[in-house]
């Protein structure tokens, strides 16, 4: 579950998280996101889903124990992103800002508005809206939440 540069341990965000064992620079690859590729999204019938849509109709199932990158939790202020390398036919967890040793490695899960309604966010970021939702959709969710509250 651990790689040479990362370790899994309990996270203040949720369950197990992925933590840096050394410093990473922006743009540096942290860990490969590995698993079989299929034409259908993985089912949650066998437990948690760690799926990455690499292109329309192509899914990478990252639930295997040989994929420590699957443990990166969501954050509204992520430290990394998943990048598909078409030439190498592999996904990489890649730093988007400097990471210090011991820091939790987080990503933006990119959930839609519908998905966000089923997934609370506990990242603690200053601009967190309380739901796991893609950054470009957060303003719309804020408006929705503001106007859907009961009024006095």
Structural domain boundaries in the chain: 6-108, 111-152
The confidence score (pLDDT) of residue 102 equals 94
The reported pLDDT for the residue numbered 146 is 61
How many C-alpha atoms does 68 have within 13 Å on its Cβ side?
17
pLDDT at 74: 86
Torsion of CA 20, 21, 23, 24, to 10 degrees: -50
- Which tokens in the block code for residue 131? 């739901």
pLDDT value at residue 71:
86
* Regions in the chain scoring below 70 on pLDDT: 1-3, 42-49, 88, 112-114, 116, 136-152
Kindly report the CATH class assigned to 6-108: mainly beta
Dihedral, 136, 75, 126, 115 alpha carbons, nearest 10: 50
């Amino acid at each position: 579950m651990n790689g040479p540069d990362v370790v899994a341990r309990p996270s203040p965000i949720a369950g197990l998280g992925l933590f840096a064992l050394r410093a990473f620079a922006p743009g540096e690859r942290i860990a490969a996101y590995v698993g079989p590729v299929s034409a259908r999204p993985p089912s949650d019938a066998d437990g948690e889903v760690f799926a990455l849509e690499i292109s329309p109709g192509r899914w990478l199932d990252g639930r295997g124990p040989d994929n420590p990158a699957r443990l990166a939790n969501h954050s509204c202020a992520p430290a990394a992103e998943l990048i598909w390398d078409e030439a190498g036919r592999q996904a990489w967890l890649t730093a988007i800002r400097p990471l210090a040793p011991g820091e939790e490695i987080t990503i933006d899960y990119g959930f839609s508005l519908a998905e966000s309604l089923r997934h609370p966010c506990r990242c603690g970021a200053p601009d967190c809206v309380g739901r796991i939702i893609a950054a470009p959709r957060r303003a719309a969710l804020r408006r929705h939440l503001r106007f859907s509250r009961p009024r006095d």
